[in-house]
Amino acid sequence: MIILKSPDEIAVIKEGAKILAEIVKNLEEEAKPGITTKYLDKVASDLIFKFGAKPSFKNHMGFPAALCASVNEIIVHGIPSERKLEEGDLLSLDLGVFYKGFHSDMAVTVAVGRTAKENLKLLSVAKKALEIAVKKAKPENTFGDIGFAIQKFAEDKGYNVVRELCGHGIGKNLHEDPQIPNYGKKGTGEEIKEGMVFCIEPMLTVGDWHIKRAKDGYGFASCDGSLSAHFEHTVAITKNGAKVLTKL
């Protein structure tokens, strides 16, 4: 069941989402060659508590950290470690905060230092896919319209979309209905309605879209080891369309 949120509830989620966006911005600036992802997790945790929030991910289904830090072929849910980031790595920073009774969730993928032009293209296409999807998130459209828009744009640019992971509703619980695939057909799925709050999160791979469990037991990697990119926003649906909450 999809839980609609009141304007007051959306206002609270927006407060937490702005805190989240500020923290992710700080993490992007800290992501440099030689830095460990475990250090980035500490930065995230310290800032979350500084802002009076709590980490959404820590201890969720046993996850041991506040931050999901996924490098290169790891698509999502990578556990922060002592691994030092290297020049040219692609790093997905996925973070959630719990603030005044509500969750918000966002992700960005960044290049560590200088990286190849083809890697920058992957990031650009994945980020643009999210922007296109947000525009499709409006009343009377369907979740199939969102998935179709992501898939078509990504595939037209030569990339594949991960099909075994998806976006999700969010609110008092980190994961709520509906599930929002990054592929689909126009006009299919449930109709989007004012008051819905959910996360759109395109996940693109350079190669095969199939996934496998990463060595850390939590992350998911591309099955062929190809590079991936992941971007995510929490959005609220108004009568005029989607309002991105995780945006400064």
Instruction: Specify the CATH number for the domain of residue 181.
Output: 3.90.230.10
C-alpha Rg value of the chain to the nearest Å: 17
The 3-state DSSP class for residue 70 equals: strand
Residue 228's pLDDT band (boundaries 50, 70, 90)?
very high
Q: Look at residue 88 and tell me if it is in a domain.
A: yes
3-state helix, strand, coil in the chain (%, to 5): 30, 30, 40
Q: Is the peptide bond before 178 cis (omega within 30 degrees of 0)?
A: yes
Are residues 161 and 204 in contact, defined by beta-carbon separation less than 8 angstroms? Answer: yes
Q: In total, how many domains does the chain have?
A: 1
- pLDDT per residue as tens digits for the range 90-100: 999 999 999 99
Exposure letters 97-116 (e unless 16+ CB within 10 A, then b):
bbbeebbbbbbbbbbbeebe
Averaged pLDDT of the chain? 98
Cβ neighbors of 211 (< 8 A, separation 6 or more) are 75, 162, 164, 165, 220, 221, 222, 223
- pLDDT per residue as tens digits for the range 168-218: 999 999 999 999 999 999 999 999 999 999 999 999 999 999 999 999 999
Name the residue range of residue 29's domain. Answer: 7-244
pTM here is 0.97
pLDDT at 222: 98
Q: Look at residue 2 and tell me if it is in a domain.
A: no
Q: Look at residue 1 and tell me if it is in a domain.
A: no
Cross-strand pairs, 168: 179, 199
Q: Look at residue 80 and tell me if it is in a domain.
A: yes
Q: Look at residue 139 and tell me if it is in a domain.
A: yes
pLDDT at 134: 98
pLDDT at 124: 98
Phi, psi of 70 (to 5 degrees): -115, 125
- pLDDT per residue as tens digits for the range 135-175: 999 999 999 999 999 999 999 999 999 999 999 999 999 99
Q: What percent of the chain has pLDDT over 70?
A: 100
Q: Look at residue 170 and tell me if it is in a domain.
A: yes
Query: Both ends of the chain: CA-CA distance in Å?
Result: 30
